[in-house]
Structure 1
């Protein structure tokens, strides 16, 4: 059974933080979240939402997941963490929020703006044992057109482990990820250097392997890696099979061309009567 509640707790400052809770959580969880995050968010709290959930899979070591979304004037910022307990996940979310908002110093409280922050990639979700994993979600999206540097900006601001986009100049479906050396890697079906800026941070352009979804699943089952970026043999498009916080797999892929054409036809026919 899924239990969900939404809470907005006003404070003496007049700010309120929208907190959504799902699953079995402490009754004061929304209050604890607000107490920790409101001093960090300040006036941005009114443009922020927190989702706190206890996942139902019994074998997860870190079943509590927290996600914060902040809508700034020109940017959307996200922080996401998972932990074993509610108190731990709230503390981790507070630290992660400071790090995510640090590039936007006007948003943070003055006492936090000069604080030294150690940036680290988001912690990957844990996976259930291979025999227990399944494909829990297949998400189709239309990759947004943007430059490589813009894609890196989205990757960092949204606390993503990877970001699927369409490179603006080459029009290639692309996925950007962080590399172990602190640089960035962009994977494409047929690497096209047009539009890949030779700037800082350095960008490495590589070709994604051609696999079936079954191949990618077998690889993650074997390695326990957090994701696999590949060219789907069935579609010829760059796709990502990834670990979800519930311990299962998700599949992210571009919207098929036929479906895009049909959607465009429907849009163009509207109002023609």
Structure 2
């Protein structure tokens, strides 16, 4: 379908934190603008955040993140590198993959064919930011996101995880009604964990998926913190001791914790 008139490219908002080399803001703006000018659907919003971590021990202190809204559908990319110019280049490459997946999704819906799942995330460099080595006694839950969990299939959850460049995705499985978390497992697949595992009711999926047979441990946030610190995992999925709902406590890149919980 052809557009009746050219779409006006949005203003690329760029935020910075820490010391920036000369020209970094405009360089990031140009790189993201080049992508927004090629999308078939209109880009309604685009924001870039550039952060230079002050810790000299970090091998990749330059962090770049982009969030865009393509005709009402969000996409996100997040990378780290040794220099800010390298981070911006990597950000453009990674965001381009996200926008391509959105385009594939829309094309599949128009043609009423299955959504493509050959996403090659195993071969795509992640360039994930390093965690700031904050001492455990200084870590706090500095961000608590609480919202109604999406009712999705594992395929839909995988699409959300990939387009938003998440490490994990918390949702309610539409087939079982269970609070669930989906995350990458190995180079080519995903793994599903549920508050009360019901693998026989999950239903057919197209993505390569394995399911945990262990129920989510029931605990409070304090115990989840201890488990996160002891295991060294990037996140802990648990059933809240009071509500029984699925929660995720995760390591933020600033060395603190983030908590995601469903709205009751």
Q: TM-score, normalised by structure 1?
A: 0.74
Select which of 196, 199, 210 maps to 1:193. 199
What is the SS of the residue equivalent to 2:199?
Answer: coil
Larger deviation, residues 171-180 vs 55-64: 55-64
Which structure: larger Rg? Answer: 1
Select which of 48, 61, 67 maps to 1:51. 48
Report the equivalent of 1:230. 238
Preserved contact between residue 68 and residue 76 of structure 2 (Cα < 8 Å): yes
What is the SS of the residue equivalent to 2:133?
Answer: coil
Q: Any gaps of 5 or more consecutive residues in structure 1? A: 1-12, 108-115, 258-273
Alignment partners' CA distance in 1, 2:11 and 2:204:
41
Report the equivalent of 1:18. 12
- 1:31 and 2:26 matched: yes
Preserved contact between residue 228 and residue 240 of structure 1 (Cα < 8 Å): yes
Report the equivalent of 1:6. none
Q: Deviations over 1:91-146 (max 9, x none)?
A: 22012112222324589xxxxxxxx9943557264142323322212221110112
Preserved contact between residue 125 and residue 226 of structure 1 (Cα < 8 Å): no
Report the equivalent of 1:126. 131
Q: Deviations over 1:35-78 (max 9, x none)?
A: 32333332448534122243676477244432222322473221
Select which of 162, 165, 181 maps to 1:159. 165
Select which of 177, 199, 202 maps to 1:171. 177
Report the equivalent of 2:75. 77
Taking a change above 3 Å as real, the CA distance of residues 234 and 57 of structure 1, as seen in their structure-2 partners, is farther
Tell me the C-alpha RMSD between the 2 structures.
Answer: 3.0
Larger deviation, residues 149-158 vs 20-29: 20-29
What is the SS of the residue equivalent to 2:250?
Answer: strand
Q: How many residues align?
A: 236
What is the SS of the residue equivalent to 2:255?
Answer: coil
- 1:243 and 2:237 matched: no
Preserved contact between residue 43 and residue 70 of structure 2 (Cα < 8 Å): no
Alignment partners' CA distance in 1, 2:96 and 2:240:
38
Alignment partners' CA distance in 2, 1:67 and 1:216:
28
Preserved contact between residue 185 and residue 205 of structure 1 (Cα < 8 Å): yes
Q: TM-score, normalised by structure 2?
A: 0.76
What is the SS of the residue equivalent to 1:170?
Answer: coil
Alignment partners' CA distance in 2, 1:202 and 1:14:
39
What is the SS of the residue equivalent to 1:102?
Answer: helix
Preserved contact between residue 128 and residue 248 of structure 1 (Cα < 8 Å): no
